[in-house]
Amino acid sequence: MKETMRLGRIAGVRVGLHWSVLFIVVLVVLSLARGRFPHSHPGEPTWVYWALGVITAVVFLVSLLAHEMAHAVAARRNGVAVDGVTLWMLGGVARLRGEAKDPGTEFRVAGVGPLTSALAAVFFAGVAAWMEVLSAPGLAVECVGWLAMINLVLAVFNALPAAPLDGGRVLRAYLWHRWGDPVRAARGAAATGQFLGWFMLLTGFASVLMTGALGGLWAALVGWFLIAVATTEARAAELRGVLGDMAVRQVMTPDPVTVVDTATVAGFLGTMPFQRHRHTAFPVVTVDGAVVGLVSVRRINRTPLPDRSDTVLRNVMRPLAEVSTARPDDLVVDLMPRLRTAPERRALVLDGGRLVGIVAMSDVDRALSWLDAGKRTRH
């Protein structure tokens, strides 16, 4: 899930928001300000309901962020690199650079999420009880009580043994430990995720048709999401079985052709790079050789013709911070999800900050074709 707005870093982990998070904020605010709050505590000014609805929605997002940050921190402590955390419509996602190296690591990284939500539920429940003792306003107690309830629901739902939920990761760790095969374990966890997704999708639509309650649409949406992601994970498991331990260095283009960031767009095009190299994207470096970004045909085409003589590549390239990167020893199967979502569908391969290669989705497809041909030959 690609972030739309960056919020900064927490504990060294980049945090961002996807535009769809606005949907969940609006949904929570509307359900509280126009439903739960007026129903349980009538007679208050309308602006109070709306203000508390917004505050509660924001605190809910913070609890979601705490859930995902727990995953990220646990992953880093267990040697798994983290690209960042993004909040979006259906919750959040911690983008891990690689996979767990053993079942124990998988269990710890997955299990800490529901545990964090459960602890948040206990915390908010304790605060609500303390506010009751102090005779705090009932509406304020209602807000905190709702936060305790929603975090408990979040903990229980995420603990369900179905991928891509945290419980599915725990199930995968168990199956991995039992069978000794991470690929087979991933297939099993993905199958449970697909089953749960179809169950939620069908029961959600049935609820809408039989009762007219629109709440079933939410269950159907979550079910559709589970089916899609679980299917993707099943395919990734198959690819993991094919690619095995193939490293990025085995599929990348080594020592790629680079361009200097001070060159003008017109000067760059004047060299006709496509006639010699047939590439559509080039790493951009400084005069000292430090890589600073990636320039592509698509970005160059955004530059108006009259301005190309005066516009340098530094001003049209995609900065390095926005470009997917990998290390030579990273596994190809771990890089593939980032390649599919990368704007240029490419990743720069860096070794200690030094550019050593570039890899595109087409390179991976070519490797898969050769591996498939070799497999057929052996059979």
Inter-residue contact 106 to 173 (CB < 8 Å): yes
Closest C-alpha to 320, from 372, 269, 285, 296 = 285
Q: What is the chain's Cα-based Rg?
A: 25
- Pull the structure tokens for residue 364: 């991976």
Instruction: Return the half-sphere exposure (C-beta side, CA atoms, 13 A cut-off) of residue 262.
Output: 5
**Is 344 known to be catalytic?**
no
- Pull the structure tokens for residue 146: 């709702």
| Torsion sign, CA atoms 363, 364, 369, 373 | positive
Distances (CA, A) of 175 to 56, 75, 93, 197, 243: 39, 20, 23, 20, 21
Question: Rounded CA gap, 197 and 229, in Å?
Answer: 10
Inter-residue contact 333 to 236 (CB < 8 Å): yes
Measured torsion, CA atoms of residues 28, 10, 294, 337, in degrees rounded to the nearest 10 = -60
The owner of tokens 């030579």 is 328
Question: Rounded CA gap, 213 and 351, in Å?
Answer: 55
CA max distance for the chain: 78
Catalytic-labelled residue, pool 68, 106, 233, 344: 68
Query: Which H or E run includes 129?
Result: helix 103-133
Distances (CA, A) of 340 to 39, 149, 334, 336: 47, 37, 11, 6
Amino acid at 348: L
Instruction: Return the half-sphere exposure (C-beta side, CA atoms, 13 A cut-off) of residue 279.
Output: 22
Catalytic residues: 68
